[in-house]
Amino acid sequence: MKYRTVFDIIGPIMIGPSSSHTAGAARIGRAARALFGRKPKKVTITFYGSFAKTYRGHGTDVAVVGGVLDFDTFDRRIVDSLKIAREQGIEVIFRESEEVPDHPNTARILLEDEKGSTEVVGISIGGGKMEITELNGFSLNLSGNAPTLLILHRDRYGAIATVAGILARHQINIGYMQVSRKEKGSLALMTIETDQPVSEAVKAEIEAQEGITGVTVLS
């Protein structure tokens, strides 16, 4: 593995005890909250691999819930996140899976309320870093280290070119792009990491295009 800065080796400022099992887990929870876009009424968290075996002792449970509450890794409220979630009326359910995951530190988070639901799969890869590997059944590779566009669209010709053209007109450079679809001609998910922030005006312009059914911006 290559490290870009010394901070990639040292790891984040965080509430302990483990960068993988707490800081990375908190970031998975916080990313799930951002993708859901609001406070959930119910959260079901399924742990796999090492997470499933050690989540109570290592604080992975309070870390993920703290992230869902939108607490950063260094926020001392994380240690009381289960209590705070109850006080906010959020039902939290923990499950342990015997399924062998591709990565040992894997969590699946289902967030729900009366408006809908979002399911996210994330992995903690060490040093407080994480990746989101699945969103509502779509495969992706989301690090959260750059401004990111998540665009749900009909799988048709021209969709990618249209979005890329809008970004180019606004002088927004694409650093990474991935497109995932469940089957040919159905819905697809475009994931775009950019070098510049994406404004609400650019988001609205993308949303107005034919075949685009949903746009989420993570900054």
Please, what is the Cα angle at 118 between 13 and 94, to 5 degrees? 65
> Per residue of the chain (219 residues), what is the pLDDT tens digit?
343 343 343 344 444 445 556 889 999 999 999 999 999 999 999 999 999 999 988 899 999 999 999 999 889 999 999 999 999 999 999 999 999 888 889 999 999 999 999 999 999 988 888 999 999 999 988 888 899 999 999 999 999 999 999 999 999 999 999 999 988 889 999 999 999 999 999 999 999 999 999 999 987
Cα 44 to Cα 174: distance, rounded to the nearest angstrom: 34
Has this prediction a pTM greater than 0.75? yes
